Amino acid sequence: MSGPGVLRGLRVDLSPARESRDFRLMVLAGTVFTLGQAISYVAIPWQIYTLTGSNTMVGLIGVVELVPLLVAGLWGGALADHVDRKKMLVGTGAAQVVLTALLALNAFRDEPHIWVLFVVAPFLVSAGALQRPSKEALLPRTVRHDQLPAANALNALGWQTGSLLGPTIGGLIVASAGAGWCFAVDVVGITVAVLLYARMSAFPHREQTTPPSLRGIAEGVRYAISRKDLLGTYFVDVAVMFLAMPIVLFPALAETIFARPHLLGLLYTSETVGALVASALSGWHRRIHSYGRVIVIAACGYGVFIAVAGQAPSFWLCCLALALAGAADMTSAVFRMTLWNQSIPESLRGRLAGIEMLSYSVGPLGAQIRAGYTADTWGVRRAISFGGVASVVGVVLAAAALQDFWRYDARTDEHLLAERARRASHGENLDLEG
């Protein structure tokens, strides 16, 4: 194949965005939403570290967020299978506008209160956890079933664009104007995203819905447990994020290891740069059917590159290793999302999206605690490298224990074929909604 032919085969497939207005609105809203949140993501740990000087205190923010995340994530999934998912996006987004504004008001005080961060953060996490299952469950309704791999890559590309620009902008703002302006920009971003969600078409549930209840949540959990391929995606993600995610240590890494506090934003964006490149070159995904193998290999690559970043002799080599880790992580994430969206029944998609959200949210929160403690005990470099190596071991053990996950093939999976047939019966493969 010629050089231009290779590039055409690698570049991201734009057909979902060309054909579906609602998909375009959802991706644009998600990108703007992520941009604002990523700016705040820099401000919160920076403000805690500045006020306390403790990595452990930075990590403890995850303690107060963990239980609200668990409860709201599961309940949000149950709500997504019963109420109007578009209204959930708008309502929970409005709540996040108010809560982020409270953080801005506190940050603009002459002497900000540390307790405000620890009180508002759980509510902010709860609003996001209630929202995300509806967003994840609604995305497959906006495109054809066969377009889901490309749609997931485009959605990831938009998310990574916001994640790339956000920390860079946040780092510059926090260094020059303070955390308050970071939160203020986030308020604007969330507001714009809510307005974009409000412009989407209505997507009423096509089948009988299950009112939110503990029994309904339990039904979703039983379904997830019954499928070893789904369990594999959850275990791999939790293992990688909990054991290897080093983000909470970036302030200390920039200031105490490399003595470059003014370049803190680049540490946050390095993984995102790699992920963005991986998303832009995702055309090869449509030729892959062995999702389980790709997820495992990519997840192991993430752990290896994080371990290398922890021992990098220079700031720029550390950024390069983080970028390669980000590319590996995004590859794993896109195939996980495609497996979920192509094979989970519509009637359970919200509840399973809640469980999925927990799998990729609990890990990072736990990682804040783990990384903060190990860094204060063993040192920043050892904490990062040990986590990377440990995550590789965890991924390999999960793949060995869950053979259905390792052997998953999109051409023969019974759940995927059943969902494709269901969508065809509703005409969803022929007519896009909106």
What CATH number has the domain bearing residue 358? 1.20.1250.20
Q: What is the pTM of this model?
A: 0.77
Q: Which two tokens stand for residue 67?
A: 């239980």
Sequence-ordered alpha helix ranges (H) in 139-263: 148-176, 179-198, 214-226, 228-244, 250-252
DSSP 351-417: HHHHHHHHHTTHHHHHHHHHHHHHHHHH-HHHHHHHHHHHHHHHHHHHHHH-HHHHT--TTT-HHHH
Do the beta carbons of residue 287 and residue 13 sit within 8 Å? no
pLDDT at 427: 62
Token output for 383: 């904490």
Amino acid at 27: V
pLDDT in tens, 187-228: 999 999 999 999 998 888 777 777 888 888 999 999 999 999
302 neighbors 116 (Cβ within 8 angstroms)? no
Domain contains 321:
yes
Is residue 36 a part of any domain in this protein? yes
Rounded Cα distance, 141 and 434, in Å: 10
Whether residue 61 lies inside any domain: the answer is yes
27 falls within a domain:
yes
What pLDDT sits at residue 426? 64
Looking at residue 256, the DSSP 8-state letter turns out to be I
- The whole-number pLDDT of residue 3 equals 47
Percent of the chain past pLDDT 90, that is, above it, reads 29
In terms of residues, how long is the chain?
A: 434
Q: Is 432 within the bounds of a domain? A: no
- Phi/psi for 427 (5° steps) reads 80, 10
CA 225/CA 405 separation, integer angstroms: 12
Q: Which domain holds residue 321?
A: 19-203+214-425
Residues of the chain with pLDDT under 70: 1-10, 365, 426-434
pLDDT of residue 433: 42
Domain assignment present for residue 13? The answer is no
Please give the Cα distance from 19 to 21 (Å, whole number). 7
Query: Structurally, how many domains does the chain consist of?
Result: 1
On whether residue 431 sits in a domain, the answer given is no
Q: Answer whether residue 2 is part of any domain.
A: no
pLDDT digits (tens, 9 = 90+) for 71-127: 888 899 999 898 889 999 999 999 999 999 999 999 888 888 888 888 898 899 899
- In this structure, what is the dihedral angle of CA atoms 398, 132, 352, 420, given to the nearest 10 degrees? -100
Match 């449509």 to its residue by tokens: 286
Using N-to-C axis directions, what is the helix angle for 349-359 and 55-80, rounded to 10°? Answer: 170
DSSP state of 254: I
Nearest to 47 by CA among 101, 115, 96, 129: 115
pLDDT for the residue 432: 44
Task: Give the span between the Cα atoms of 66 and 122, in whole angstroms.
Answer: 8
Q: From CA 82, how far away is CA 114, in angstroms rounded? A: 38
